[in-house]
Structure 1
């Protein structure tokens, strides 16, 4: 089972892929620097390094589904 704390929701609008906010700096409406074909390869299990354009933090994506990106480390913090 995929650990929920390693997931982050995304939206696809046309050929652009967005996250509602950055998991690191909390900047809103971040356009991710990759194309739909790269998202499809993530769904097939190909890893991808994602560098957020807002704060330049790095994250290794290890998978994706229709709603969430799957990271190699936790992105959500429980309170």
Structure 2
């Protein structure tokens, strides 16, 4: 079972990936430095270091689905 505390929702809007709120600093509507084509590579097992541009916090994306990114550590309390 996937631990919900290690997931964060994202949206694809016109070819860009956004999160509604940064899990670290709370900034809203953050454009992620990750392309939608990278989602398939992550699903296939490739890990992706994701640095949030708002606060420079970093996480490793280890899996994805159509709505959520799964990270290597908890992002929810």
TM-score category of the 2 structures, normalised to the smaller one: over 0.9
CA RMSD of aligned residues (A): 0.7
Deviates more, 1:1-10 or 1:34-43: 34-43
Gaps of 5+ in 1: none
- Structure 2 unaligned blocks of 5 or more: none
- C-alpha distance in structure 1 between counterparts of 2:69 and 2:45, whole Å: 11
Superposition deviation, residue 29 in structure 1: 0.2
Distance in 1 between residues matched to 2:45 and 2:67, nearest whole Å: 15
Report the counterpart of residue 33 of structure 1 in structure 2: 33
Normalised TM-score (structure 1): 0.93
Separation in structure 1 between the aligned mates of residue 58 and residue 52 of structure 2, nearest angstrom: 7
Following TM superposition, where does structure 1 have runs of at least 4 consecutive aligned residues deviating by more than 2 angstroms? Answer: none
- How many residues align? The count is 77
- Give the aligned partner of residue 20 of structure 2: 20
- Post-superposition Cα deviations, 1:1-59, rounded to whole Å, max 9, x if no partner, equal 11000000000112100000100000000000011111121122210000000000010
Which residue number in structure 1 is paired with residue 11 of structure 2? 11
